[in-house]
Chain A
């Protein structure tokens, strides 16, 4: 990475020397920075190899680069050792942070607004119903149950998507691809803008909660629905916070993570370590210990294997598509 700036200045005509084509749901970065957050336990690697020349992501967004220049081309070799540069810079880093695929679009914001509205309407119905009837305990308890079950639901969904299907699976294909990409580049989630991160869940919540808002008025039901759906919708935000370095988090978020109200950085970090088969829940993580101790997901995997003949991804050695990309510097994280 340090060599790249030198190389760029030396060979400004060079376009992409290295193309990543594994995950095309977002503009594949032309180079990868090492994941930074608490999710990785891999030690930093030195960079004896020179030429990972990176380009601003913006240049690679629309079409895959097709030019591949052999890195061992003698004309590109320098007899001098790669310059050691200070980590102050990079052109590429800044542009990576500005990758359009991480930004929120108006459609994203619209879905988040609609999902949020359905949740708030449900919450309002619960509160007004509780006020009218004078009973608060049941709606509140229902809300607690919703919060607890949202965590379980997040784990089951996450387990399914992480282990089965691929980008061609109907309905879930894009999600599956996104999850695989997340495992390869876990830190990208911390660079997504808010609505960009949440819009897919917000859309699901909109479709699910709207009929309930229209049909039902029971405050207890809405106590459950509003909290459960709200937690599910915001689970991606909790997930992003679990990937963020502590120093960058608001103290309140850290406090909630430490208290176990939100999934903690360390707990979620364990999910991002091989064999990637534990700690699937990402709302509060309260179910993780139970599910992992009693091997619930392993049992489900065994049943699916014997009944349907399908093996989950976590049973195999992780492929390069899955393994976290650590061949990068930690610069992004520190910015």
Chain B
């Protein structure tokens, strides 16, 4: 689930903040609690200009994330849906949208993939590439891509190693792999991180908006 700012979050933050360098800290500004609770699916967006909801304590892993805004995304080499090994470094020189999703053929992930597909031309126009990553194997990705005619690369992060390396936070007390999208600029530096488990289409809106305004 996306961030659910809870009254206790504010109190738990100080202890979590000590572990962090300033640039990776989240804003301490809390939105209006009732509204934010009601809009728990607004998602958490980390970027230069915005203030954002403080995540509740169970999302502390995002604060300890190894990959955060402004940092260079660590490279990886994973197999795509055709079994070919793809490295992140291959995309250097152009912006990349890397989206981590829970699993193929689940309702949210299907909506998200289809939304990326439907806006793919817009991403291309902005000069960006789109890569989806989940723990499913290449054959699952192949079937998923074929069924929904997905034009972009899906990578198999078997064992969820890259997910852990990048520090993608889990949801619902660790029971669900998180849904988090990173926008990397042409130098491989993270410029936007967006997290929203249950409103998958918003990932497309937010990343496209960012790319088009950049």
Contacts and interface: CB of A to CB of B under 8 A. Distances in A.
B is bound to A? yes
Interface of A: 277, 294-295, 298-299, 301-303, 305-307, 311, 315
Contacts of B1: 299
B33 interface: no
Given A295-B198, A307-B175, A302 B106 contact: yes
B163 to A, nearest CB: 13
Contacts, number: 35
Interface of B: 1, 40-41, 102-103, 105-108, 172, 175-177, 197-198
B148 to A, nearest CB: 13
11 contacts: A294-B41, A294-B198, A298-B108, A299-B1, A299-B172, A299-B198, A303-B175, A306-B102, A306-B103, A306-B175, A306-B176
Given A295-B198, A307-B175, A302 B108 contact: yes
Contact of A298 (B105, B175, B198): B198
Contacts of A301: 107
A307 B175 CA distance: 7
A315 B175 contact: no
Nearest to A304: B175
Nearest to A315: B107
Contacts of B103: 305-306
A interface, over-half SS: helix
B60 to A, nearest CB: 20
B interface, over-half SS: loop
Given A299-B197, A305-B106, 14 more contacts: A277-B107, A294-B198, A295-B41, A298-B108, A298-B198, A299-B172, A302-B108, A302-B172, A303-B176, A305-B103, A306-B177, A307-B175, A311-B105, A315-B107
Contacts of B102: 302, 306
Contacts of A315: 105-107
Contacts of A306: 102-103, 175-177
A294 B40 contact: yes
Contact of B107 (A294, A298, A307): A298
Contacts of B41: 294-295
Contacts of A294: 40-41, 198
Nearest to B135: A306
Given A294-B40, A294-B41, A298-B198, A303 B107 contact: no
Contacts of A311: 105
B61 to A, nearest CB: 17
B106 A303 contact: no
Nearest to B105: A315
A305 B108 CA distance: 13
Contacts of B175: 303, 306-307
Contacts of A299: 1, 172, 176, 197-198
A317 to B, nearest CB: 11
A305 B175 CA distance: 10
Contacts of B107: 277, 298, 301, 315
A148 to B, nearest CB: 19
A207 B65 CA distance: 52
Contacts of A303: 172, 175-176
A300 B106 CA distance: 12
A46 B177 CA distance: 48
Contacts of B198: 294-295, 298-299
A226 to B, nearest CB: 34
Most B CB within 10 A of own CB, among A277, A295, A301, A315? A295
Nearest to B173: A303
B2 to A, nearest CB: 11
